[in-house]
Amino acid sequence: MEDISWKVIHDYSQIIRLLNTLAEHKGLDKMIKETNQLDDFTVFLDMDGVSVDFVGGVKNLLGEPGKTLDDWGIEEAYGFNEDGFWEKVDTFEFWSTLEPYPGFDDFYKNLNEIVSNVVYCSKPSRHPISASGKLEWMQIRYGKRFRDYILTPQKHYLAKPNTILIDDKDKNVEDFVNAGGKGIVIPQTWNKFADLAEMSWPDKYDRTLKLVKEYM
């Protein structure tokens, strides 16, 4: 009986799942298996604005815009219309060479130590080259056989009680939480934690790790 991981019964949804299992008169083996699966946490990790510095990459490409740069409204800051902006930015080289934020590699390593799965979850731009550039970025770091990624604009389809989305867009996290997952917004000037955006990146990542642990 020691194998029954009562320690994981820490939130309402898990208790409901256990009760459902009992109510359906499933066998004890199956109940233990399902309970242990609750330990199986997946973190979906956004790329732009969370892992890599999209805004910094645009600055390297186009120079300083003369206006405060946010992720949203970046086209206007450079005086382009949307199409004109993306024509400049959407290249294989741009997406595959974006710099990770300071401390990201340690964060990624630590995250992998505390949860079962860490999966990059990123929305490609409208140009198909963006998806291949992002995949190249991952393969440069983790090799050709790297498989822990999902490229999709519909991140909330992945939401389950034992999943966490880490993203810089309030709406993405909101949709994910509404669909039954958990979410963490990483502070940026363009989201609801703008007042924390001045924190150093290693501090932002430490804060994020702490929040992940609280959810588990």
Nearest approach in angstroms of CB 130 to Mg ion is 13
Indicate the residue among 38 and 52 with the shorter CB distance to Mg ion: 52
* Closest CA relative to residue 3, chosen from 40, 24, 22, 31: 31
Indicate the residue among 18 and 74 with the shorter CB distance to Mg ion: 74
Q: What is the dihedral of CA 99, 103, 109, 110, to 10 degrees?
A: -150
Scanning residues 131 to 170, which ones bind Mg ion (CB under 5 A)? 168
* Distance separating alpha carbons of residues 87 and 8, to the nearest angstrom: 49
Which residue of this chain has its Cβ atom nearest to Mg ion in the complex?
Answer: 49
Strand partners, 185: 167
Nearest approach in angstroms of CB 76 to Mg ion is 18
Indicate the residue among 41 and 101 with the shorter CB distance to Mg ion: 101
Q: Count residues contacting Mg ion (CB under 5 A)? A: 4
Nearest approach in angstroms of CB 206 to Mg ion is 20
Nearest approach in angstroms of CB 9 to Mg ion is 33
Contact letters for Mg ion, residues 37-66 (x by CB under 5 A): ---------x-xx-----------------
Scanning residues 165 to 194, which ones bind Mg ion (CB under 5 A)? 168
Nearest approach in angstroms of CB 191 to Mg ion is 9
Indicate the residue among 49 and 124 with the shorter CB distance to Mg ion: 49
Indicate the residue among 49 and 77 with the shorter CB distance to Mg ion: 49
Nearest approach in angstroms of CB 178 to Mg ion is 18
Which residues contact Mg ion (rule: CB under 5 A)? 46, 48-49, 168
